[in-house]
Chains A and B, each alone.
Chain A
Amino acid sequence: AQKVTQAQTEISVVEKEDVTLDCVYETRDTTYYLFWYKQPPSGELVFLIRRNSFDEQNEISGRYSWNFQKSTSSFNFTITASQVVDSAVYFCALIFTSGTYKYIFGTGTRLKVLA
């Protein structure tokens, strides 16, 4: 089965705390892409990162970092020194092609950062 699991439905942290959002995926394909999107209260999804299955390098972008581990089929997202503006729903997605391309999204993790 091809699926994405975001086991954390909702996380609350106090501002300036670090927080990690988990993403575990399953796929039979050897070529695939993983994405993270942020959905603020305004509704539109905002692209955060794309990673292909052959690139296991971790990535850091400002306060955001991503840890991709194929051995555990995980693509976790860490926010360092969280801010109230980070409050949103975060989605992990798996994209692969088997004839036609398929997008499999997780159910999302709602992050609440309290002042």
Chain B
Amino acid sequence: ETGVTQTPRHLVMGMTNKKSLKCEQHLGHNAMYWYKQSAKKPLELMFVYNFKEQTENNSVPSRFSPECPNSSHLFLHLHTLQPEDSALYLCASSQDGQYTDTQYFGPGTRLTVL
């Protein structure tokens, strides 16, 4: 079974919609991450959860709202997004949330905001 799964793989939404991205890890890890990958821009770390507690929020707009109900699941709730939010959203997990940990990535959700 794939270590980190993400659903949906593709999502198209209007600016007034509300949707959620889901990430699940089957590796027994304690830390999970959301990244944004925009075209021609460096990968940006958005949020970090360690043992279900949010430990990092890198100045992400409030229209992105993460949720981590347990160490295996991570959600990214989206509302009133802008076209510039269109990107590949990657989820990752690592053993303990140490910054030196190896992170294991999911395949991403390709989001298009119309």
> Which residues of B have CB within 8 Å of A47?
102-104
Give the CA-CA distance A91 to B45 in the complex, in Å.
14
Q: Tally A-B pairs: CB < 8 A.
A: 50
Cβ-closest chain B residue relative to A106:
B42
Cβ-closest chain A residue relative to B97:
A101
Query: How many residues of A are counted as interface, with CB atoms below 8 angstroms from the partner's CB atoms?
Result: 25
Interface size class of B (residues with CB under 8 A): 20 to 34
Give the CA-CA distance A58 to B34 in the complex, in Å.
31
Give the CA-CA distance A47 to B92 in the complex, in Å.
11
B114: min CB distance to chain A, Å: 22
Q: Could you jot down 16 A-B contacts, CB within 8 Å?
A: A33-B100, A37-B105, A43-B90, A43-B107, A43-B108, A44-B105, A44-B108, A45-B43, A52-B100, A91-B43, A95-B100, A97-B99, A101-B56, A102-B45, A103-B43, A108-B42
